[in-house]
Structure 1
Amino acid sequence: MKKSVAILFAFIISQFQAQQGPYYQQAAKYKMNIDVNAEKFTYTGNQTLEYTNNSPDELKVVYFHLYWNAFKPNSMMDQRVANQGKNGDSRLQKDGISRLASIPKDQEGAQNIHWIKQNGKDLKFEIQETIMKVYLAEPIKPNSTTTFTMDWDAVIPQQIRRSGRNNKEGVDMTMTQWYPKIAEYDYDGWATFDYVGREFHAPFADFDVTIKINKDYVIGAGGILENPAEVKGYDPNAKIKAAKNKTIWRWTAKNILDFAWSADKDYIVKSFDVPQGPKVFFVYQNNDKTKVWEQAQPYVTKYFQLMNSHFGKYVYPTYAFIQGGDGGMEYGMCTMILGEAKDIQGLMGLMAHEGAHSWYQQMLATNEPMRPWMDEGFTSYAETFVMSQLFPEDLPNPFAKSVDGYRNFIKKAIEEPAVWFGDHHDNGTAYSYASYVKGELYLVQLGYIMGEQNLAETLKQYYDQWAMKHPSDRDFLHIAQKVSGMDLKWFQNYWINTTKTIDYGIKDVKYDAKSTTITLVNKGQIPMPIDFSVMTKDKKIITYQIPMNMTHTWKEKDAYGEFKTMPYWPWTQKEYTVIVPYTKAQLAVLGIDFSQRIADVNLEDNFVEVK
């Protein structure tokens, strides 16, 4: 090799290594003082933010999110809802017309930044609706910390989506995504997603928040209340300290993505300890509509125990279920949910989903706006798994209803790829299925492909390696491939990046004197390994694993029964023949995937009843 070529090659390699680099994540520490005017639904705020740049890059600008600026007529959120009409989020529109368009002027959301300083120096900034771009007085060098101070006032918006005043159940204030929040910076750059209604992303941060509010209010929040003996609701022997008719509440939290709280005069607070943690708080209005909450404690206790056992230990000391918002939305150490529920199973379904976000949104903090299927989908998987333990049903597998839902949705022909950014889906229903259902079935299909034991080990190692970090789909796939020994890139590409579907069938069955020959056919666009089973007249089930060659390694065991491994089925080959040593007189049923985990879009030709 010529010397000049060798030098060039070495330079390219060094650049590649530098671009990949070691993993890093930014860090933040907020100290806030908030004074709430409850009568006018406004507040004033100031904060000190210590921001540490652990990246290898010198930062000359920073960005903050100002989410509440979206809640007004003609905002980007309003325009997005108007453009989508009835295809959008039903909570943001009524009869296809944006609810934001009719927000009264005095109830428009606003975060008015008075000034921001860096290490005492005034900074220039510009507001781009829900994004604030800040030009630094001095660059933040790698591995260094800078201090921002900021003063602002805010108008709590009419409750439209998640945040706001006077939600439909009469909760006075749902304070979520309510403060100027610094954006995440990582290998992909600044996560400066305009807020038009969906997901959030942020660096891990510590919070020290002091809230001054009318003494009649009770606050629920995600964090630790530092002065329970001085405020209403938490300590029966509390001696409320009030200055000019206001009480001061102090909350702290460490290593969470955001700090959320809610306030109402009619809240009650109940708490209990889950063995091995956490301490759980219920903060809600005690009335006829919320009476189901009285039944929830044993279910929530079992819920956290199951989650801790199967998906990794919940690391925070507390968790709060708070009545507020417009449905269910997860935040650091808490969730906001509507209080009304018809029965305990309905309430627990909501609590199980929002609580599971503590694993797949908080502790494993993937970039939700970019990869909503990793958060919503993995959370839905955990929800379904735990609910099947709390409320057992007679199903072939816990996820059978999710597979059926996906199968029925496909018939609508409106599917959009799961790889799309959350806010950029054109159809609200398509977003839900791409993110929640296909994300959940991503794991279900992996369990089918590589065996449930391997999937459980993958989820465990994913938690062990990536808890309290910002993993991506590449990180998860790396672990899945290492645990299983399989190549799984093909599956992720098909399932997440396309709208292609799985469709296998039994094309032909021929019965002979000593055996039966079955011809299978692949009519879909996604190739898969196939578990083909026969059930004999005496109810014995024999399963044949037909590997698909792209995995290059076959699953060795599966929780859904033992199997015999057959020669592989090349993904380019449309048909495959199976010969089983049973006669027609011996057979009762032939079928593809008796466990019903495979997301085959057409089951009509998957089973044959032998008569």
Structure 2
Amino acid sequence: MKNRLVAIFSLIVGLITAQQQAYYQQEASYKMEIDVDAANYSYHGNQEIKYTNNSPDELSVVYFHLYWNAFKPNSLMDQRVQNQGKNADGRLTEFGSSKLASIPKNEEGSQTVNWIKQNGKLLKFEVQETIMKVYLNEKIKPNSTTTFTMDWDSVVPKQIRRSGRNNREGVDMTMTQWFPKLAEYDYDGWATFDYVGREFHAPFADFDVTIKIDKDYVIGAGGILENPSEVKGYTENPTIKTDKNDKATWRFTAKNILDFAWAADKDYSVETFIVPDGPKVNFVYQKSEKTQFWSEAQPYITKYFQLMNATFGRYVYPTYSFVQGGDGGMEYGMCTMILGEARSLEGLLGLMIHEGAHSWYQQMLATNESTKPWLDEGFTSYAEDFVMNALFPKDDMPNPFYNAIQSYVRFVKSGKEEPAVWLADHHDNGTAYTVASYTKGELFLVELGYIVGEENLSKILKKYYQDWNLKHPTDRDFLHIAQQISGMDLKWFHHYWINTTKTIDYAIKDVKYNDDSTTITLVNNGEVPMPIDFSIFTKDKKTVNYHIPLNMMRTPKTKDYFGDFQTLNYWNWTTKEYTLTIPYKKSDLQILGIDFSQRLADVNPENNFLEVK
């Protein structure tokens, strides 16, 4: 009887644990009315938010982000830049000092919440710079919806990073991270990271946004413009309707996106084209000699969406806007803000393609980029290099990711590398963050393709999209799919590549030429064990490939894009050396080496090849 009770208790605990860990995601619906005072770079806003708690937890507080409160002297962002000194993000510094420290009082950003109500009743709240904590009168029970209403005033900050007024390209207002936005709540709790310059996370939401602004302005935004014939820029001879203050009304809607962003300028032009079997695309920018490449970019952007749809999964939204925002590039729901001026067509497209690819890796596959920046920046960089190689093939590169590998190797040798597992805003060195998140995140997929084979990698990426688009996946979810499709154990690789700064360094240690064969000894001089692809190139111009699987994989790869190969015995990760004998004598051989495809991120590749003389 006792054993039976123990078994029943274990079953109940197991069911409760499974229920607690079951996937869920919160929902929000915003309805906003915004009145812009363009002359004073400010606006008044009110919004109604319907918030659905799909978690199993009862919520007694909610949190909002107030990003613009960071744009002032002595803010957390300013303190972070000053503390980092020469290691800070160069876009936030000038002459070695923080740009935020010198923002004039009348150009500081602010988001001042006048009041917030839940179901019509006022709520108590406290503002912790860029985070607002709201104490609820009525707890939000699991699987229930509540309604918040809010009234606030904002001052558009001087543009230092992403958002702001009168940027260096002459755009009047770049309105990103511009409204009080609900924080995400998931199994890890509330995502309430202070804004100190980097990444974001939010629940999927619907938006219905009405903006009143001086009639001479043109707006570029994510979402669908519902009244294009009543505003400037989108149709010929519009009938602009104005109120008593000579303001036009713009209305945008969007469903199931993470954020709504917009920009406004009197000199914007709008070019629109439709991707076959894809979205309607808007180019919103200031036409000039410095932006001459925008019009030339249109056919490339059409091919870009088609390539992304075929390779990584379909773009699910009806529109996409590329908007000249004046600072770097940053992705938002159904749009991106980018620098408009470019020195070349390829340079402009590289920026458009990277930021646009975030529609897949961060917007549709909405990972938490504050905690796992490599999952969105790295995967996006992989897609960028893949597409750019298709649009602008380079004959001198062995694979599309060769330059990323070289960049990584150079930085490793600087001794400044930091682990990719670190939180986005908590890297000590700005370049180390870039390498950890963008480069190592990209090479996570490159090395994975080397391990499992390119055909399997393609299947993994498509399955990842199929299972997780319009959700919030984690690296654990991705790894589960990768192991499922490849049949391999890959936890060791994820650990070494993401959690450590250990490096790959294999070499040819010794070659012994026999009468009718050749014996090669390979050595692992590094700290990261990997499977090895070893190849020979014969005097009669034939390539012969061998695959040495790593024992921790448990299953060897069966195919790859370099052709047929012979699978050899496992190389145990605890063994430093490995010896193989091939049925070719010295006179048969021209070149032998590790990784002819040059996908292996080996920090000392010069000892991977041997020319037989």
Do both share a fold (TM > 0.5)? yes
Instruction: Report the Cα distance in structure 1 between the residues aligned to 2:499 and 2:406, rounded to whole angstroms.
Output: 21
**1:324 — aligned with what?**
325
Look up the match of 1:411: 413
Distance 2:230 2:580 in 1: 74
Within 5 Å, give how 1:412-491 maps onto structure 2: 412-491=414-493
Shift, 1:110, TM fit: 0.3
- Partner SS, residue 585 of structure 1: helix
C-alpha separation in 2, matches of 1:354 and 1:13:
42
Q: Amino acid of the residue matched to residue 234 of structure 2?
A: Y
Letter in 2 for 1:422: A
Q: Specify the alignment match of 2:150 in structure 1.
A: 150
Q: How does 1:296-307 map to 2 (within 5 A)?
A: 296-307=297-308
- 1:559 equivalent among 558, 561, 586: 561
The answer to whether the Cα contact below 8 Å between 1:547 and 1:569 also exists between their aligned partners in 2 is yes
Write the mapping of 1:15-26 to structure 2, written as runs, cut at 5 A: 15-20=16-21, 22-26=22-26
- On the 8 A contact 1:161/1:325 being kept in 2, the answer is no
State the Cα distance separating 1:11 from its structure 2 match: 5.0
Paired with 1:433 and 1:584, the residues of 2 have a C-alpha distance of 42
1:87 partnered with 2:81: no
Please say if residues 82 and 96 of structure 1, whose CA atoms lie closer than 8 Å, have aligned partners that are also in contact. Answer: no
Q: Which residue of 2 aligns with 1:293?
A: 294
SS of 2:386's equivalent in the other structure is helix
**Contact 1:201-1:367 at 8 Å conserved across structures:** yes
Letter in 1 for 2:454: E
Q: How far off is 1:328 after superposition?
A: 0.5
Equivalent pair of 2:170/2:326 in contact (CA under 8 Å): no
Matches within 5 A, 1:342-361: 342-361=343-362
Match of 2:46 in 1: 46
Partner secondary structure for residue 167 of structure 1:
coil
Matched residue SS, 1:206: strand
Alpha-carbon shift at residue 450 of structure 1 (Å): 0.4
Counterpart of 1:383 in structure 2 is 384
- CA distance in 1: counterparts of 2:151 and 2:438, whole angstroms: 38
Compute the displacement of 1:184 (Å).
0.3
Q: Which amino acid aligns with 2:199?
A: E
CA distance in 2, matches of 1:566, 1:165: 62
Structure 2 CA distance for aligned equivalents of residues 458 and 327 of structure 1: 31
Aligned residues of 2:293 and 2:344 also touching (Cα < 8 A): yes
Aligned to 1:310: 311
- Structure 2: 5+ residue runs without aligned partners? none
Work out the CA distance in 2 between the residues paired with 1:347 and 1:111: 33
Superposition pairs of residues 60-459 of structure 1, within 5 angstroms: 60-243=60-243, 244-394=245-395, 395-459=397-461
Q: Detail structure 1 runs of 4+ shifted over 6 Å in the superposition.
A: none
Q: CA deviation at 1:19?
A: 2.6
The residue number in structure 2 matching 1:548 is: 550
Cα separation, 2, equivalents of 1:4 and 1:98: 64
- Alpha-carbon separation, structure 2, partners of 1:346 and 1:434: 23
Contact 1:164 1:325 survives alignment (8 Å): no
Q: Measure the CA separation in 2 of the matches of 1:31 and 1:5.
A: 52
1:575 is aligned to 2:577: yes
Deviations 1:301-342 (A, max 9, x none): 000000000000000000000001411000000000011111
Q: Deviations over 1:410-456 (max 9, x none)?
A: 01011111011100111100000000000000000010000000000
CA–CA distance in structure 1, aligned partners of residues 538 and 203 of structure 2: 57
What displacement does 1:96 show? 2.5
Give RMSD over aligned pairs: 1.0
Q: How many Å apart are 1:586 and its aligned residue?
A: 1.2
Secondary structure at the aligned position of 2:360 is classed as helix
Q: Provide, for residues 212-264 of structure 1, a one-character-per-residue CA deviation record: whole Å limited to 9, x for no partner.
A: 00111100000100000000000013111112211110011110000000000
SS in 2 for 1:604: helix
Preserved CA contact (<8 Å) 2:402 2:598: yes
C-alpha distance in structure 1 between counterparts of 2:32 and 2:170, whole Å: 27
User: Does structure 2 conserve the Cα–Cα contact (< 8 Å) formed by 1:353 and 1:380?
Assistant: yes
Residue 2 of structure 1 and its aligned partner are, at CA, apart by 4.0
CA contact (8 A) 2:49 2:147 kept: yes
Q: Which amino acid aligns with 2:519?
A: T
Deviation at 1:146, TM superposition (A): 0.4
Query: Could you tell me whether the CA contact under 8 Å between 1:66 and 1:111 is conserved in 2?
Result: yes
Give the CA deviation at 1:141: 0.6
- Residue among 586, 589, 609 paired with 2:588: 586
- 1:33-53 Cα offsets, whole Å, 9 max, x none, are 000000100000000000000
Amino acid corresponding to residue 433 of structure 1 in structure 2: V
Shift of 1:8: 5.0
Q: Is the 8 A contact 2:20 2:56 kept in 1?
A: no
Change (3 A) 1:61 1:325: farther
Deviations 1:15-34 (A, max 9, x none): 422332x2110000000000
Conserved 8 A contact 1:182-1:202: yes
The one-letter code of the counterpart of 2:539 is K
* 2:610 is the alignment partner of 1:602: no
The one-letter code matched in structure 2 to 1:19 is: Q
2:529 counterpart of 1:520: no
Q: CA deviation at 1:12?
A: 3.8
Tell me how far apart the structure 1 counterparts of residues 562 and 219 of structure 2 sit (CA, whole Å).
47
Residue 30 of structure 2 aligns with which residue?
A: 30
Instruction: Provide Cα deviations, 1:466-492, integer angstroms capped at 9, x if missing partner.
Output: 000000000000000000000000000
Distance between the aligned counterparts of 1:158 and 1:279, measured in 2? Answer: 32
Q: Is the 8 A contact 1:502 1:601 kept in 2?
A: yes
TM-fit CA distance, 1:513: 1.4
CA–CA distance in 2 between the matches of 1:58 and 1:294? Answer: 52
Deviation of 1:575 after TM superposition, in Å, equals 0.4
Matched residues in 2 for 1:33 and 1:361: separation?
Answer: 27
- CA deviation map 1:57-77 (0-9, x unaligned): 110000000000000000000
Q: Secondary structure at the match of 1:595?
A: coil
In structure 1, list runs of 5 or more residues that go unmatched.
none
Match of 2:508 in 1: 506
In the alignment, which residue of structure 1 is the partner of 2:14? Answer: 13
CA contact (8 A) 1:523 1:574 kept: yes
Output the CA distance in 1 between the equivalents of 2:403 and 2:256.
Answer: 36
Provide the C-alpha distance between the structure 2 equivalents of 1:49 and 1:560, rounded to a whole number of angstroms: 54
CA distance in 1, matches of 2:486, 2:101: 52
Per-residue CA shift, 1:502-545, capped at 9, x if unaligned?
A: 00000001111111111000011110000000001122110100
Given that 2:533 and 2:594 are in contact with CA atoms closer than 8 Å, whether structure 1 keeps it comes out as yes
TM-score (norm. length: structure 2)? 0.98
